[in-house]
Amino acid sequence: MIFKSEEETLAWAEEFGKSLKAGDMVALYGNLGAGKTVMSRGICKGLGFDGAVCSPTYTILHEYPNDPTIFHFDLYRLEPGTELYEVGFDHDYLAKGISLIEWPERLEGETGDITHKISIEIVSENEREVTLEKFDRLQG
């Protein structure tokens, strides 16, 4: 899909957000400035969250009060070898809400719980190409 403006991206993300349910984990891939946080903002709106959504780059995790709770991770500054539980990545706790994970490539192979992968490519200053992949949840 090609989106020609931030508004188009937000509208699509809002509709996509409406399809998510507790336990879903959405991995957001893209370069700096591609629009991962814009996508997160739209998803949160689709889930019914009306508060401010900004990149949690310096805190790694924002937890938004919602039903279900939204966990917004930004792993950009995560050091290699960091234990994920130290930054709030507790799978049992996260299963109660919906997780949005910016920079999921920092997880180094711990992506088995990812249910959706959104890749955002910069086409031009205002255009983005977005691809969505959906994965079945692992049965345990």
Look up the pTM and report it. Answer: 0.88
Nearest of 101, 131, 130 to residue 8 by alpha carbon: 130
Q: Which of 59, 47, 45 is nearest to 10 (CA)?
A: 45
What distance in Å separates the CA atoms of residue 58 and residue 75, rounded to the nearest whole number? 9
Per-residue tokens: 34: 């591609």
Token pair, residue 64, equals 């938004």
Quote the pLDDT of residue 98: 96
pLDDT score recorded for residue 124: 94
Q: Can you list the residues of the chain whose pLDDT is less than 70?
A: 57, 80-88, 108-112, 137-140
| Per-residue pLDDT, 140 | 40
Q: What is the pLDDT of residue 139?
A: 43
Sheet holding 25-29, edge to edge: 2-3, 128-134, 116-122, 25-29, 98-102, 70-74, 61-64
Contact in structure between 80 and 53 (CB atoms under 8 Å): no
